[in-house]
Structure 1
């Protein structure tokens, strides 16, 4: 069945094979100048690898992004979207680690834990990881910021892999499993929210960030997203039932035990857990079962690993990197630049980051309250109309997606693969898509194949441009609110 907004056959065919060529070029660029284990992770990328790798990366990324963008409003069918996304992933499965060296950190953290060291107490250098030369220098002395469930997975990869290459293969397979799990959940979530399933699958799976960073880069965000979407699917399929709520809580707890970012989804997941009328009593009852599953899973993984909650302390070190791609950091840079004009350097970055985190906390509360009040208003809408509009699951899912988007925008650090968090949830719940698809398309160009960030080469101009964008968006938001209230 053809979906709304479906392109012509010729346009769809052109997009499919343009994207495939792009994926092949990125794979070649990866072997010419990717994050290879025998290449020192230091020095200017262009000097080491030359124009062929850079050209392949640039053209390949442009083809992938262009093909994905061209069909953002609709695809011929859901099956076509899955087949095309899978076709694009095939070459990238044969690529070396692309656009990041984080997978080497995962391998060393897993090795450290398997060797009896606590990865939350010291970095992999202190543990004596034999693969230390492949880890980016700034992360060699940093404690692991990931949850105990992922540490267990990393240790399993290090043990069964029998060496660095084997560990990398298994870590990529874990990431691929996360992407496949997310793909299985997308149609059910999209149908529950009244969103075209083909469009949802296309936006969430064919996005270049997924192939390059989640699969080729083997980022653990893929595992988190797979567990997160499965937990949400259980909620929207079987709300209000203690057994499924505990299962959903366990899945969401595992997602948090991979990356703590998933915690911002939990309040909105509690909204999706409610069956029947939205009352405080129903929220406490059904949300309590969900919370029980989350807490039990976190306690179990912490006890099983023997690491407790030490990973929470490691989160503080994740902000050691300072790049203008994070809006709060960019604003801090600009404040420092202005201070230098008067002969002072205020050191504003920690301050702007702290203000952003406070703003994020307030914004998350506001988003949840708006979702709650919207659902309360549905209490007076006939059940038949509610089912037709798919309003209940859409409100909860969309709230979760916007909360993730706010978390990405206001976090102290931004990496391109962070954009996949809100992308996956908004793909199954948002009506308008350009506002979150466009940043994901831009983010695909921010890292070179070896993990070098493009932001490194334009700190001042990038910080100023980002600050101007923040001010413009803030002004537009204030003006829009005044227009609606007048």
Structure 2
């Protein structure tokens, strides 16, 4: 039987073990000292590191999973998540080396170069040895806000160690903003803030990839939930004819500006903007009545991006960097798994075709009509829930999936999901728990070492899911038809 006390200390032990892993074998400052999956399996560094990593991750997942049923208050959830995060702060990053790429991109920006037009290798970043080879010759794929933050981190930090420390402070600030925005958003959506706060802040993905790994997703997510909470807080309570449909324009524009700042970190945050407009008005509002709140939210977002573009001096050049975001090939992305599987099946018949680019393109194209359909549903359904589902669709159909991407929809859905808890657990919490196990301390991803096995398993799972959904839909239609046929007989019996 789990109690708040046992959950807190179980997670604390897990956090201490993962902190020990960061000390023993986190993402090294020089890649020549790093290890890989094979080294870890062979025990080249001894058994202490893999045992601590497996045990610590398992304890964090267990405490998070069972804590959602016993968490007594929002304050308790925040204090517990903070205690779990503290041991990770002084040590090397866990689960990813991206922070070193941030440092070199910030160096280019601070030195007057254009991170969108050049790269760390060409510009001569002094910390190039720390950057993953996959990103040394790539332009920055991030928005102007993160360029400004990266340049500031380099100027304040000075050395690589100091710069990484500043990036971690920025990530912690982003997590703090999440801690403010999630309970506020939950109150707007009619969800218990305590449960939403725990689900997001105590998630092992936050501890490993936002706090320790210092990913810029922390800032993006914090701005997203804050912007949505601000906009949704102005929705009129009354929905009868004559009720005011337009909240205060200035506050709507401020909410839009926060969302624009999120886009200024990662462009994928833009999918939330149309749903934010719906969140500001009552359900079922006519399309004609949406133009004013749409202008306020959109104007705030565009204005924020315009100011950031001017301050950074780089415009919207990050669009070029986004073209390189799909360079990584991991089966954890459904479209990538299907593309790899199709290519291998064709090779059995002597057809050597690279199906990966085509399948990824199809998935990306499908995202547009899927988002439009979801937005149309959200007009009469739930705009805030729609925003979370839009992020989930974006993650599922993206050409690349990294474990921390799961936090995008989790942060919004945990605060807005009011439907079946079983569905939320099955389709959101289970994938997040699985995603927390995908990396090893130095940042290598198991998905890179298991491309064939993983892509086949993922494709088989997607096919099985599709068959199950079709059968379920047919069964529901059959039951509905039988019910309609029996209705007249029941009426006669009455």
Whether the TM-score (by the shorter chain) exceeds 0.5 is yes
Kept in 2, the 8 Å contact 1:45–1:450? The answer is no
Which of 12, 20, 24 is the equivalent residue of 1:20? Answer: 12
Which of 243, 252, 256 is the equivalent residue of 1:245? Answer: 252
Cα distance in 2 for residues equivalent to 1:330 and 1:370:
29
**In the alignment, does 2:52 pair up with 1:52?**
no
Which of 340, 344, 349 is the equivalent residue of 1:342? Answer: 349
Kept in 1, the 8 Å contact 2:117–2:139? The answer is yes
Q: Which runs of 5+ in 2 are unaligned?
A: 236-246, 481-494
**In the alignment, does 2:190 pair up with 1:183?**
no
Check 1:266–1:98 CA distance in 2 against 1; reply closer, same or farther (3 A cut).
same
Kept in 2, the 8 Å contact 1:187–1:201? The answer is yes
**In the alignment, does 2:264 pair up with 1:257?**
yes
Q: Deviations over 1:93-127 (max 9, x none)?
A: 12311110000000110011111110001211111
Which of 448, 470, 479 is the equivalent residue of 1:478? Answer: 470
- The alignment covers a number of residue pairs equal to 458
Cα distance in 2 for residues equivalent to 1:50 and 1:406:
41
Cα distance in 2 for residues equivalent to 1:238 and 1:44:
50
Kept in 1, the 8 Å contact 2:37–2:449? The answer is no
Aligned residue in 1 for 2:81 = 85
Aligned residue in 1 for 2:229 = 233
Cα distance in 2 for residues equivalent to 1:109 and 1:65:
33
Instruction: Report how far residue 277 of structure 1 moved.
Output: 6.4
Which of 422, 425, 432 is the equivalent residue of 2:412? Answer: 425
Cα distance in 1 for residues equivalent to 2:207 and 2:412:
17
> Over aligned residue pairs, what C-alpha RMSD do you find?
1.5
Check 1:219–1:57 CA distance in 2 against 1; reply closer, same or farther (3 A cut).
same
Q: Deviations over 1:424-471 (max 9, x none)?
A: 000101132202011000000000000001112222111111001111
Which of 362, 367, 377 is the equivalent residue of 1:355? Answer: 362
Q: Which runs of 5+ in 1 are unaligned?
A: 1-7, 375-394
Cα distance in 2 for residues equivalent to 1:220 and 1:478:
39
Aligned residue in 2 for 1:414 = 401
Question: 139-148 vs 345-354, which deviates more?
Answer: 345-354
Kept in 1, the 8 Å contact 2:332–2:400? The answer is yes
Question: SS in structure 1 opposite 2:80?
Answer: helix
Aligned residue in 2 for 1:220 = 216
**In the alignment, does 2:435 pair up with 1:443?**
yes
* Structure 2 counterparts to residues 286-325 of structure 1, below 5 A: 286-325=293-332
Question: SS in structure 2 opposite 1:317?
Answer: coil
Kept in 1, the 8 Å contact 2:22–2:88? The answer is no
Q: Deviations over 1:401-436 (max 9, x none)?
A: 111111111110000000000000001011322020
Question: SS in structure 1 opposite 2:141?
Answer: coil
Question: 129-138 vs 473-482, which deviates more?
Answer: 473-482
Kept in 2, the 8 Å contact 1:274–1:282? The answer is no
Which of 326, 333, 338 is the equivalent residue of 1:331? Answer: 338
Aligned residue in 2 for 1:68 = 64
Kept in 2, the 8 Å contact 1:16–1:84? The answer is yes
Kept in 2, the 8 Å contact 1:209–1:444? The answer is yes
Higher CA-based Rg = 2
Question: SS in structure 1 opposite 2:29?
Answer: coil
Instruction: Report how far residue 283 of structure 1 moved.
Output: 0.9
Q: Deviations over 1:253-273 (max 9, x none)?
A: 000000011011111111012
Question: 126-135 vs 67-76, which deviates more?
Answer: 67-76
Q: Deviations over 1:328-375 (max 9, x none)?
A: 00011111111111112210111110111122112111111111133x
Q: Deviations over 1:289-329 (max 9, x none)?
A: 11011111111111111101110111010100111111100
Kept in 2, the 8 Å contact 1:328–1:412? The answer is yes
Check 1:137–1:276 CA distance in 2 against 1; reply closer, same or farther (3 A cut).
closer
- TM-score with structure 1 length normalisation? 0.91
Instruction: Report how far residue 130 of structure 1 moved.
Output: 0.6
Which of 266, 271, 275 is the equivalent residue of 1:268? Answer: 275
Cα distance in 2 for residues equivalent to 1:360 and 1:98:
31
Cα distance in 1 for residues equivalent to 2:315 and 2:34:
35
Q: Deviations over 1:172-199 (max 9, x none)?
A: 1111001001101122211111111111
Cα distance in 2 for residues equivalent to 1:41 and 1:210:
26
Aligned residue in 2 for 1:390 = none
Kept in 2, the 8 Å contact 1:112–1:119? The answer is yes
Instruction: Report how far residue 54 of structure 1 moved.
Output: 1.3
Instruction: Report how far residue 74 of structure 1 moved.
Output: 5.0
Instruction: Report how far residue 46 of structure 1 moved.
Output: 4.6
Instruction: Report how far residue 481 of structure 1 moved.
Output: 3.5
Cα distance in 2 for residues equivalent to 1:361 and 1:442:
28
Instruction: Report how far residue 87 of structure 1 moved.
Output: 1.1
Aligned residue in 1 for 2:378 = 371
Question: SS in structure 2 opposite 1:271?
Answer: helix
**In the alignment, does 2:98 pair up with 1:106?**
no
Aligned residue in 2 for 1:384 = none
